[in-house]
A and B are shown apart, each in its own frame.
Chain A
Amino acid sequence: MADTMAAPAKVAITLTVNGEQRTGQVEPRTLLVHFLREGLGLTGAHVGCDTSQCGSCVVELNGASVKSCTVLAVQADGAEVLTIEGLGRDGAYHPIQEGFWEKHGLQCGYCTPGMIMSAYGLLKRNPDPSEDEIRHALDGNLCRCTGYQNIVRSIQYAAQLMKDGPTAPVATSAD
């Protein structure tokens, strides 16, 4: 019985996380979110549901927003990953972070990193989204505290800020 439950062999992976090259040894079954959290100590991506409903674990993988609980770490081998920890630069906050601060876009804050990363993906695709487009973009992210109103306002605020601010760092991961 113990044999069948022995840990599978580990696989070496190398990926770029928040602009830095990182390596790790992971079991093939390890999810990206667990590698980020436990392997790299980046606990900003949260685990909320285990069934890919809540979106607390959203990160950017090769330029696309993904739920890092639905990606195996080995699938991220060679990839570029941007997490909430890499969003701000040089001691400054990204406009979306600024928006969540300014517009009271959080309460308990557990969903916030995933919300911000989903919004980041949205604003890259669509810099001037309507309220309806924002709500559709957040459909894979659950919040139990805010009722979403201030999250929508935060993203609208950020979109305006990014239009007004020429130096806003929108595409950190593509650096």
Chain B
Amino acid sequence: MGMLTLGHRRAGMPPAPRDVVGTSPPRPDALAKVTGAARYPGDLSRPGQLHLWAVLAGRPHARILGVDARPALAHPGVVAVLTAADVPRNRFGLIEDDQPVLAEGVVRWVGERVALVAAETREAAATGARLVEVTYEDLPVVADPATALAPGTPLVQPGRPDGNLLTEVRIRRGDAAGALAGAATVLEATFTTTWQEHAFLQPEAGVAWVEDDGRVVVETAGQWAHDDRREVASTLGLPDEQVVIRYAAIGGAFGGREDLTVQPLLALAAWTLRRPVALVWDRTESMLGHPKRHPMSIRARWGVDGDGRIRGVEADLTADAGAYASTSQEVVKAATLLLTGAYRVPNVALHGRAVLTNNVPTGAFRGFGAPQAQFAAESMVARLAEAIGDDPVAFRQRNLYREGDLEPTGRPLPAGVGALATLEACAAEARRRFGIGWDGLGRVPGASSAPRQAGEAVPSAGTDGIARKRPRRGVGIACGIKNLGYSFGFPERATATVELYGRGEVERATVRIGAADVGQGVHLALRQIAADGLRLPLAAVALVADDSAEAPDAGSASASRLTLVAGRAVHDAVAAARAKWPETDDERVEATVTYRPPATTPLDPITGEGTPNYCYGYAAQAVEVEVDPATGVVRVLGVVSAHDVGRAINPRAIEGQVEGGVAQALGYALLEDFRMADGFVLTRTWDDYLLPTALDVPDEIVPLVLETADPNGPFGARGMAELPLVPFLPAVAAAIHDAVGVWLTDQPFTPERVQFALDDSPGTSARVRTPSPATSSDDGS
């Protein structure tokens, strides 16, 4: 801090030497971001550029009878109107290329792009887009998965082998039906979730142009420059190397920039018109235009033995994939695998489906299926503990994964199982911080800040309208597990090039790795890893990451994987370059290393056997809430969020990920109610889609970082960025139950739903439920 003079830092002053692994130097990109100098995609422009405006379908399912561009072309300033016929190869997609750049003959969801207007001004482009006359014949709308799978329902994508069933996953181990038949206590419930919108602050935008050498450059935001390049090049029918993807400052992503949106439109227009082009989406276009988190319906049956051990689980999951595949196959595999959470279950029968509809496509969103699956799993665990009169922590301690346990797929877990450690750390910290907690046998008497005494029944509206109006506090705890890195045999690797410069001693280095910094701070973490390995100050390590032609492929900023995989590639490339240094008199050496983690495998289609993942992250969260029974409003008062990160490369960045992830999870749990009706999006702006503000987030979010070294990650680091989204929803459900005695099963927990649940609760027995020795069915409301 010695560099501060009267609270002002001279621009350009080098940072203090606090830049090795395990420390938290300020983010280098912060300088441009606090002065307004940082350039996001919507801030870019090119001399002589045309402005683009996409014509969206605005209807969920229709045949295109004709596109008349003449009224638009007659408008002053409009230069061109591009349609499907102008796209050299009109297909793209992350996993399978089932999506057209511009609709061809039919539109399958409201956000489908039908035509692209190019004009000399943004205003002319907007007007031109309104003047394009598209004639439609509306088709029956497939509005939900149940309809989609019913006999006789129209096909969303005709010609697919399984109709509207996009994918189906089965994982079997032991004899689940037999185990449940013989279990001492069995509970069953159904859980539902709705879409979640990423709501990154920076709407999709970018510029594109064609270089003199014929290369098409698209400067935009994304999560994987090299895959964007592959997909864009494919749509133009060009070799990959003829397309360059550059990332400007990226205004958040959270999975919502994994799929292409504006990129192929920009490339198509620049390539076809041979003019620089710019395209900026507004918020509604963004809300309609990129895939969301999957709505899921999950039915779960869990059974425990008389000694409180989970004996068997049957669970069935249906996800709405929307109109195109995106990453739905992968999300549903991941979600199905995690339907038993982080628990050892000897007998499982898990079933997952993704179903095509005419809704907005669904794909990657921080957590990638884990939050929905573990809303069900953790809620069932909490209910089972309650049903057998056990403590929620003790029940989990008895049943959580240990090192060497088998996954539902029948193979041992990857080493580094932090489930128990994160739970115990979380429970202890929750007790210390908030005076709430569990002693392993029951609630600590008097430890809760809740006004209610243990055993006090919760009055319902029918019996005590006055008491019902008093706000009540409650606490809840839940665990979480999430794969880190790609799964199920998807090729997993990252390549880094390290260049060392100096005379005699290494004086500076350049690290090249095409890893996207979407805000999470991975660029700084990668530089810290390199600086540590080279014993250089941070300022002497340059990073080249944002250009697909200048940096090798790191894979995507997703699955919490970059610190682990890209970090290890940098770590190993540093070591390789250092090894070369003494053997040469050159003033420059270079080494390139591709790191490949242990291989995963696809699951056996019948049994689900296989090695799905090479690394998992573990987390536990404790949440205190206050529920106002008069209004149904739930306020989160405090959160403890415990994470095993392997090794904290930059502790402050990790804390920032925890705090930001908790805020997103809070929005998911309580506020964010993305709605569609008959294929139309009802929540089209942030007027309708509520996001957490500084007043919704509690003053106290306690990030708790454990460091059990991962065998593969650099310095033992593993990923963590998705984990805060995983336990939060069931932890809030448990806290609401603790406060007012009702279990909520439909996300989000809006005031209306809390009220309905209270109204439906059977009098004073709501909280003190007598467990049935046999099956007690509770399908929620």
Contact = CB atoms under 8 A, between A and B. Distances in A.
Interface of A: 1-2, 5-7, 37, 42-51, 53-54, 56, 83-85, 87-88, 91-93, 95, 97-98, 100-102, 104, 106-113, 116, 131, 134-136, 138-139, 141-152, 161-162, 164-168
B467 interface: no
B252 A110 contact: yes
A78 to B, nearest CB: 24
A109 B33 contact: yes
Interface stretch (B5-13, B97-105, B435-443, B458-466): B5-13
A44 B685 contact: no
B664 interface: yes
B11 A92 contact: yes
Contact of A104 (B26, B43, B74): B26
Which of A47, A109, A165 has the most CB atoms of chain B within a 10 A radius of its CB? A109
A139 B34 contact: no
Is chain A's interface secondary structure helix, strand, loop, or mixed overall? Answer: loop
B71 A138 contact: no
Contacts of B29: 109
Nearest to A89: B8
B656 A104 contact: yes
Given A51-B685, A110-B249, A116-B34, 6 more contacts: A100-B34, A106-B30, A108-B518, A109-B34, A145-B519, A161-B7
A106 B252 CA distance: 11
19 contacts: A44-B37, A49-B685, A49-B686, A51-B283, A92-B10, A95-B7, A104-B655, A109-B30, A112-B33, A113-B34, A131-B699, A138-B693, A144-B198, A144-B660, A147-B659, A148-B693, A168-B6, A168-B7, A168-B8
Top 8 A-B residue pairs of the complex, sorted by shortest distance between their CB atoms: A44-B36, A108-B519, A109-B33, A147-B659, A110-B251, A147-B663, A84-B36, A161-B7
B201 A98 contact: no
A145 B30 CA distance: 14
B42 interface: yes
A4 to B, nearest CB: 10
Nearest to A91: B11
Nearest to B26: A101
A136 B695 CA distance: 7
Given A5-B127, A145-B519, A101 B200 contact: no
Contacts of B43: 37, 43, 46
B200 A144 contact: yes
A18 to B, nearest CB: 10
Nearest to B40: A110
Contact of B660 (A7, A45, A145): A145
Interface string B3-46: 01011111100000000000010110111111111111011000
A6 B10 CA distance: 49
Interface string B638-660: 00000000000000110110111
Given A44-B35, A95-B8, A104-B24, A51 B687 contact: yes
B150 interface: no
Contacts of B127: 5
B664 A144 contact: yes
B35 A135 contact: no
A109 B37 contact: no
A146 B24 contact: no
A98 B9 contact: yes
B35 A88 contact: yes
B308 to A, nearest CB: 36
B503 to A, nearest CB: 32
B219 to A, nearest CB: 14
Nearest to B700: A149
Contacts of B187: none
A85 B697 CA distance: 29
A73 to B, nearest CB: 14
A162 B283 contact: no
B143 to A, nearest CB: 26
B587 interface: no
B619 to A, nearest CB: 15
A111 B687 contact: no
A88 B34 CA distance: 10
A51 B686 contact: yes
B659 A97 contact: no
B36 A45 contact: yes
Interface string B457-477: 000000000000000000000
Contacts of B697: 147-149
Contacts of A167: 6
A1 B71 contact: yes
Interface in B599-654: 652-653
Contacts of B199: 142, 144
B193 to A, nearest CB: 19
Contact of A151 (B519, B658, B694): B694
Contact of A107 (B11, B71, B283, B519): B519
B42 A47 contact: yes
A54 B686 contact: yes
A134 B662 CA distance: 20
Interface in B678-694: 685-687, 691, 693-694
Of A91, A113, A136, A148, most B-chain CB atoms within 10 Å: A148
A37 B205 CA distance: 15
Nearest to A132: B699
A106 B34 contact: yes
B34, B42, B75, B253 interface centre (most CB from chain A within 10 Å): B34
Contacts of B32: 109
A107 B557 CA distance: 14
A71 to B, nearest CB: 18
Contacts of B729: none
Interface string B516-533: 001111000000000000
Nearest to B517: A108
Given A92-B9, A109-B33, A147 B660 contact: yes
Contacts of A150: 656, 659
Contacts of A162: 7
B336 interface: no
Nearest to A92: B8
B202 interface: yes
B485 interface: no
